[in-house]
Structure 1
Amino acid sequence: MESLLDPLVARIRAAAGHGTPLRIRGGGSKDFYGERLEGELLETAPLAGITSYEPTELVVTALAGTPLAQLEAALAERGQCLPFEPPHFGGGATVGGMVAAGLSGPARASAGAVRDYVLGLTMVNGRGEVLTFGGQVMKNVAGYDVSRLLAGSLGTLGLIVEASLKVLPVPPGEATLRFELGQDEALRRLNTWGGQPLPLNASCWVEDDGVGTLYLRLRGAVAAVEAACRSLGGERQDNAQVRGDWQLCRDQRLPWFEARRDRDLWRLSLPQTAPVLDLPEPPLVEWHGGLRWVGAAPGQDEPLRRAAAAAGGHATLFRPAAGRTEPARGRLAPLSSPLQQIHRELKRQFDPAGIFNRGRLYPDL
């Protein structure tokens, strides 16, 4: 790996010496996400390949530029998976981009987030130093867990070179149930089911032409899934057919998302127990009520942030409307003063010259 890293390290050191901003890019599938893109491209494509895979240990290690689809295919051959279902948003998604973005798919509320599966990580900081944190087992962290700190940092702290990830076997049992319910009743049932010993894995509520529909995915032991199907009722869907729909949900290509390409797409992260909110339109609801997507005309920032905050959560302008001419600023939820100070200090320690993905996470960082 040293031969692959040498030119990247040399470029980073030169950029730090001249104060030249660098824009880290994997496959570009998440270029829409974050505040802004700035700097000379620093491509991770040369850093590709699965360097270690121990199926019996449930651990895989891959270089940052490895296509996410390639990693998932290798895991599928051994009956294993990334349980948090990272979105692809196109064919170019990479392992490094997956960790840097920190985004998870439909199963996140039940299976956990990206950071929960990052065991170890190698990175290059803003001084051009190659650093390794964590390892390939769960109980190896002494002090601050820097590996998971990089998840969701959007490349602002350094170049991710390699990541070791915990994987899990594909559950033997799976079923998706369909219920025709309004949003309020869907949330009530999801909250009730969440307190019961059920193999809940993912949920999606959506309204079409005034009719609300809840899709509930169950995963686990076959006996547990079958028992849950009998007790919950609903209309059982064909697994082969609905599997593609869950992937469309993961990548925001369901008809609901496609119909809102000309609007700002807002992501409201809330407590699962939050009630129905007063929003510009009925949202698409995931994560058993904890994630609500809303399409809105530009200029709805403050009302949406107030609604989310009143419910105990926060709102993010996830994807600006297609063709929007004016820049979207302040897309991520504002930080409190103490958190902002922590972010600044972390940035100063990892990237003292401020060269990595300048302004990508927050406009002034």
Structure 2
Amino acid sequence: MSEVLQAEVIQAVESGQQLCLRGGNSKGFYGRELTGEPFDLSKHQGIVNYEPTELVVTARGGTPLSEIEAALTAQQQMLPFEPPHFTEASTIGGAIASGLSGPRRPRFGAPRDLLLGIKLLDGRGQILNFGGQVMKNVAGYDLSRLMAGALGTLGILLEVSIKVLPLPPQETTLLFEADTENAHAITQRLSLDAAPISGSCHMDGELRIRFDCDETRVSQLQKRFGGERFENAEMFWQELRDQQLAFFQTDAPLWRLSMPPAADFALPGEQLIEWGGALRWFKGDHSMETIRSAVGVTGGHATLFRNGDRSGEIFHPLNPTVTLLHQRLKRVFDPKFIFNPGRLYPE
């Protein structure tokens, strides 16, 4: 199957045909407007190798997340970055290409932190291998990590090798009544106590915190910090991860704001706060310039995640040095600009 895709890419290079890469097409809303001929990658799927004792899984890019997670769950393991399933067709290639993580991100890292190696089909039609299947194989900067968050603009992820981890023995969620300031204070106090936090969410005056630990530890935390046991927690965290909560059901522009956890973001609007304050989902009637200015003061950045005008600067503008690096990488991996042209930034 890799050879078939390779031949099709070589043909596109020779004809100058730009390609719009599609796996499960669950993130077609994300990024700038899609252009190019649709290029289906969904049939390039299957788990290539899974060694539970080595904590590594290797799969083709079009493999559904559900298939991988079912195999991992059977061995009491998980994908640590908790990738979102925006549709049932979400794939592992799309999860890596988007660079998006779920509630466990602060505890276990982002996709790039857990990506051990890749097999890549570049814009010349070459199949390249980067990294390996174990952490010790990584020497210097691993180029495979460049593909996490690149949205397919540097090449097609034929295969990915990812570090996996054991499932926690128990998950418990505590619910606190708290405004934004108190929610941050509670989260900070728990972190200083080395509490095993695997998810946090503050919205509508309520803070939910998920812990990966046994009953004894949870009882100790509850006695010291308060909070009530939250029922139906598994469904809540899944709906948060997959943006199925009522907060996300809107046609209004939805902004993804990354900033220091304690930063004061005072623009009027609705917020859902994750990752102890480091990730904020924002809806408000403000211009792009106003939102980016308010976030920029904190040292953070703002991405127009859903809805709104997708023809402009969806992602936070890069400084000149980073822009030059971005352009050089694009010319190295995709010199004819055939893969997902302009999806990240204008080219």
TM bin (shorter chain): over 0.9
Would you say 1:280 and 2:273 are equivalent positions? Answer: no
Name which of 260, 267, 273 aligns with 1:271: 260
Which letter maps to 1:348? Answer: R
Q: Match of 1:304, SS?
A: helix
The residue aligned with 1:217 is 210
Kept in 2: contact 1:191–1:273 (CA 8 A): no
Name which of 48, 51, 54 aligns with 1:51: 48
Would you say 1:153 and 2:146 are equivalent positions? Answer: no
The residue aligned with 1:42 is 39
4+ runs of 1 displaced by more than 6 Å? Answer: none
The residue aligned with 2:333 is 350
Would you say 1:290 and 2:278 are equivalent positions? Answer: yes
State the 1:222 CA deviation.
4.9
Take 2:217 and 2:111, find their aligned partners in 1: how far apart are those partners? Answer: 26
State the 1:225 CA deviation.
3.5
Kept in 2: contact 1:21–1:357 (CA 8 A): yes
The residue aligned with 1:117 is 114
Normalising by structure 2, what TM-score? 0.97
Take 2:323 and 2:310, find their aligned partners in 1: how far apart are those partners? Answer: 23
Structure 1 residues 171 and 226: alpha-carbon distance in aligned structure 2, compared to 1, 3 A threshold: farther
What root-mean-square deviation, in Å, do the aligned CA atoms of Structure 1 and Structure 2 show? 1.3
State the 1:223 CA deviation.
4.0
Take 2:37 and 2:307, find their aligned partners in 1: how far apart are those partners? Answer: 23
The residue aligned with 1:251 is 242
State the 1:10 CA deviation.
1.1
The residue aligned with 1:337 is 320
Task: Report how many residues are paired.
Answer: 347
Q: Match of 1:160, SS?
A: strand
Name which of 233, 251, 254 aligns with 2:226: 233
The residue aligned with 1:72 is 69
Which letter maps to 2:335? Answer: P
Deviation track 1:207-244 (CA, whole Å, cap 9, x = no partner) reads: 1xxxx000011113554334323322100123xx1101
Q: Match of 2:342, SS?
A: coil
Deviation track 1:88-121 (CA, whole Å, cap 9, x = no partner) reads: 1111100110110010011111221111111110
Name which of 129, 134, 154 aligns with 1:132: 129
Which letter maps to 1:8? Answer: L
Kept in 1: contact 2:172–2:213 (CA 8 A): no
